[in-house]
Structure 1
Amino acid sequence: GSSVTGLGLFVVAAGLASLAAGRVSGALSDKSSKNTLSGGALFAVVLLLITIGLALVWEDALYWWLPVAFFGISVAHAAIRVSRSTYVVDMAEGDQRTRYVSVSNTLMGIILLLIGALTALLSLMGTLWALGALAAVGALGSLLAAKLPEVSARQG
């Protein structure tokens, strides 16, 4: 009963986050997809670090924090997904767009599988190790995205 209800709340939170973040991150990506990409990753990192901190010093807070963090991570994921697509489309022209989007989507699938496998292995040492690794990868992603050349500004 209650575990299914809890799962339902997480599914609803993810749906609402995707709905809300899609429009906002689309508008932000039109201004600067690289900054939206970097900011989305940084937002996810902050949420992960707060989660790790709470798990270490105030574990009871996780009861209310985890749904909030899940919503926030879902918002960050939507922002990253939209801004990555926008960046690829803005940097390419004509037939290149189709090829770039195809390659980009394939590479993201491979990267997600590899990160998922790494995270699964790290979780054998403990959940906080897995969350820490995800935060580190997110921080690296945010930094690399910030260093990308601006391509969205030339479109407007």
Structure 2
Amino acid sequence: MDLEQTFLKIIEKKHKELNLGQDYNAIFSKIRDFEANAIGQIGEEFLKSVLNAIDGVINDGIIHDEYDIMTKSGVSFEVKTARKGRTNNTFQFNGINPRYNYDFLICLGVCEDQLLYRVFKKDEINYIHKERKYFMKQNEFKKQLVPMNPDNQVNYKLTLNIKELKE
């Protein structure tokens, strides 16, 4: 038995299952090579660039606990960036803390061929006591925030379908 060849075949099979053999011709296709923290940094830097062109960003070099970006006019933003899942058309935005003080939560969804978004006002994050759960509510839209893990009542995740984001 050739151990290296056996191992290689298993790797190639898994690579094909995960659809990793795609080309890199789509505009944002390189996003698939980054781990989650890097994707978050890319999204935050992108939004800083956009907001800086509109209002100006206070870039004080301080890592903030409760928001990612503050504009010169005093509006604060929390930015969450996720790439589209490999097997379904959803994005998982992790590390959302509903108790933090920010004005807007921006969810950036990165597909290999497009950038999508959804903007939530802070007051659209609601705790519904009867259900003992947090929800994102915008008009008819209602989506539960789910704890990152069973014992974590601080950080939540929000899963959005591609159709729930805007171009």
**If the length of structure 2 is used for normalisation, what is the TM-score?**
0.24
**Is the helix fraction higher in 1 or 2?**
1
**If the length of structure 1 is used for normalisation, what is the TM-score?**
0.26
The structure that has the greater radius of gyration is 2
Q: Which has the higher contact order (CA 8 A, sep 6+)?
A: 1
